[in-house]
């Protein structure tokens, strides 16, 4: 890695850290604006004003918001996520098990959707304008138009209620074999893959087509290169950066779509934990879950940027 590439990678890393600071500020004060008094919610409507005031003092809610933000940010940097308001448990302990389940769901979805999406996107670009390309484009646009909550609801009604082929609830710790793994993850993975794959197919197709229109690819075609060699040997290596961005942006959708999927299928992940924390106004848990989603999103974008920089021959060979 030469100095130019290293400098660009360091710049991207610095931008990511600044973005995290801005996101942390936004997350903290957005949750502070949620309606209701945490102490009043925890103690109930019959609590006396003295008890509510004492609990607010014990939870440091009587301190200025900016001061609590500084303490919270320092705890994040040191790995201390605080304690849950609802059950007084360590937030890190509550999230650790759920985070593993969410990563498993995201990993299985990635392994299922990325190869299919890249294959369809690349082949659609190879046979641009053909019947196959038009069918793939129509199907992807149709899939994008269907919201994931509708796909999940229909999947539960058909495969779990009427046909009884698949379980309606997805519990990751009940996996004891590959067959049971497929049954448990089938409906959540298919639901998440619908929009993720459709977006990835369209963006991959566009990236490959842009590369195919460059002069050096046209020169390879004039020299007699086959369509397969023209795409795989000449266009695809130079389209690696845009394809990496397409994959990263599509997979980042998992961070939002997983909230709906985990709620509908009662999957014990971080998103379901965050939804439950909102109902109890458990601010430390909500803030920590939101920051996990933001960190994962920024990491995906950072990895895509680094791949795009390293795969650029003008920078790599400078």
List, for residues 114-140, the tens digit of each pLDDT value.
888 888 888 888 888 888 889 988 888
Contact 28, 72 (CB under 8 A): yes
Domains of the chain in sequence order: 3-34+81-316 (1.10.3720.10)
Which has the closest alpha carbon to 120: 197, 29, 66, 67?
Answer: 197
Across-strand partners of 90? 83
Place of tokens 């950066």: 241
Whether the pLDDT of residue 301 is over 70: the answer is yes
Buried-exposed string 276-288: b where 16+ CB fall within 10 A, e elsewhere: ebeebbbbbbbbb
CB atoms within 10 A of CB 129: 8
Contact 215, 197 (CB under 8 A): no
The whole-angstrom separation of Cα 189 and Cα 120 is 18
Which has the closest alpha carbon to 243: 170, 304, 177?
Answer: 304
Percent of the chain with pLDDT over 70: 84
> What local confidence, expressed as pLDDT, does residue 121 receive?
86
> What local confidence, expressed as pLDDT, does residue 304 receive?
81
> What local confidence, expressed as pLDDT, does residue 206 receive?
84
> What local confidence, expressed as pLDDT, does residue 212 receive?
76
> What local confidence, expressed as pLDDT, does residue 169 receive?
66
The whole-angstrom separation of Cα 204 and Cα 225 is 22
Spatial CB neighbours of 30, under 8 Å, sequence gap ≥ 6 = none
Residue 109 tokens, joined: 């979805």
Angle at which helices 178-212 and 148-155 cross, to 10°: 150
List, for residues 269-296, the tens digit of each pLDDT value.
888 888 888 877 788 888 888 888 888 8
Place of tokens 């199907």: 139
3-state secondary structure of 130: coil
Q: Which residue blocks in 33-90 are alpha helix, DSSP H?
A: 38-43, 49-58, 65-78
List, for residues 142-176, the tens digit of each pLDDT value.
887 777 778 788 888 888 788 877 777 656 555 56
Residue 126 tokens, joined: 């190879």
Backbone φ and ψ of 90, nearest 5°: -65, 130
SS (H, E, C) 273-310: HHHHHHHHCCHHHHHHHHHHHHHHHHHHHHHHHHHHHH
Q: Is 185 exposed, middle or buried, given 0-12, 13-18 or 19+ CB atoms closer than 10 A?
A: buried
Which has the closest alpha carbon to 101: 269, 285, 275?
Answer: 269
Distance of CA 13 to the CA centre of its chain: 19
List, for residues 236-251, the tens digit of each pLDDT value.
777 777 778 778 877 7
Here the contacts of 2-5 (C-beta below 8 Å, separation 24 or greater) are: 2/315, 2/316, 2/318, 4/315, 4/318, 5/309, 5/310, 5/315, 5/316
> What local confidence, expressed as pLDDT, does residue 271 receive?
81
Contact 2, 277 (CB under 8 A): no
Whether the pLDDT of residue 252 is over 70: the answer is yes
Task: Work out the pLDDT band at 40, boundaries 50, 70, 90.
Answer: low
Contact 128, 210 (CB under 8 A): no
- Mean pLDDT, all residues of the chain: 78
The whole-angstrom separation of Cα 241 and Cα 312 is 7
């Amino acid at each position: 890695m030469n100095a130019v590439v290293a400098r660009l990678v360091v710049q991207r890393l610095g931008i990511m850290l600044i973005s995290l600071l801005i996101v942390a500020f936004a997350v903290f004060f957005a949750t502070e604006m949620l309606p209701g008094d945490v102490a009043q919610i925890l103690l109930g409507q019959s609590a006396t004003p003295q008890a509510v005031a004492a609990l607010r003092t014990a939870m440091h809610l009587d301190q200025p918001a900016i001061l609590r933000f500084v303490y919270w940010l320092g705890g994040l940097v040191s790995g201390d996520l605080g304690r849950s308001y609802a059950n007084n448990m360590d937030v890190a302990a509550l999230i650790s098990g759920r985070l593993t389940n969410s990563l498993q769901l995201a990993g299985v979805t990635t392994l299922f959707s990325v190869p299919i999406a890249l294959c369809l996107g690349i082949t659609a670009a190879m046979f641009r304008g053909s019947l196959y390309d038009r069918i793939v484009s129509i199907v992807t646009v149709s899939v994008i138009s269907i919201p994931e909550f509708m796909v999940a609801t229909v999947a539960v009604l058909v495969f779990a209620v009427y046909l009884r082929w698949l379980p309606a609830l997805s519990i990751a710790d009940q996996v004891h074999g590959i067959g049971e793994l497929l049954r448990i993850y089938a409906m959540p993975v298919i639901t998440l893959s619908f929009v993720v794959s459709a977006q990835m197919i369209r963006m991959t197709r566009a990236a490959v087509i842009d590369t195919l229109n460059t002069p050096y690819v046209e020169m390879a075609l004039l020299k007699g290169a086959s369509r397969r060699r023209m795409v795989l040997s000449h266009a695809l290596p130079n389209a690696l950066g845009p394809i990496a961005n397409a994959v990263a942006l599509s997979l980042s959708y998992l961070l939002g779509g997983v909230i709906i999927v985990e709620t509908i299928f009662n999957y014990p992940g971080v998103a379901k934990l965050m939804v439950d924390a909102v109902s109890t106004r458990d601010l430390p848990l909500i803030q920590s879950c939101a920051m996990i989603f933001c960190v994962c999103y920024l990491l995906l974008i950072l990895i895509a940027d680094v791949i795009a920089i390293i795969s650029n021959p003008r920078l790599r060979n400078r």
